[in-house]
Amino acid sequence: MTVKIEGLRELISNLSKKEEDIKRAARAGNLAGGKVVLEELKRNVPRSGYSGPNPQARLSDSVVMSGNRTDGATGESYVAVGFSKAANFRAHIPEFGSISQAPQGYMTKTVQATEGQVQKEMADAIKKVLR
């Protein structure tokens, strides 16, 4: 008895197209979730201005989101939301506090507040791409 498989090339072609669709959906989901965190972080960052001899931009004006990145070790794609290089060194002070300032925990509040919304936005973006 012999088995003849026809259409194997078409099957492989369709599977590779689906793989690209899934990767595209994951990237779109990452960006949608990152935008939610970006907007909430901008709202939660303390807004105090320093107008001394060397004024610096507010932290809320320095919130940025990266494009899609891939972790080299695991191969997972992700989007990083944080602060620009110019403001990154001072973002931890209001979050964790200092000897003369109580911690405000704005990053922790942002993560807790957006957890459900991020999942919803990512799912919606993935469904939209895979339709």
Contact call for residues 32 and 124 (beta carbons, < 8 A):
yes
Give the pLDDT confidence score for residue 28 in this predicted structure.
Answer: 92
Q: Domain map of the chain by residue range?
A: 20-46+56-130
Residue 66 contacts by C-beta under 8 Å, 6 or more apart in sequence? 34, 79, 80, 81
Kindly report the number of other CB atoms within 10 A of residue 70's CB atom.
Answer: 10
Contact call for residues 121 and 128 (beta carbons, < 8 A):
no
Instruction: Write out the two tokens for 17.
Output: 């197209």
The model's pTM is 0.79
Give the pLDDT confidence score for residue 130 in this predicted structure.
Answer: 78
Q: Which of residues 88 and 50 earns the better pLDDT score?
A: 88
Q: Is the pLDDT of residue 49 over 70?
A: no
Q: Which of residues 57 and 4 earns the better pLDDT score?
A: 57
Give the pLDDT confidence score for residue 93 in this predicted structure.
Answer: 87
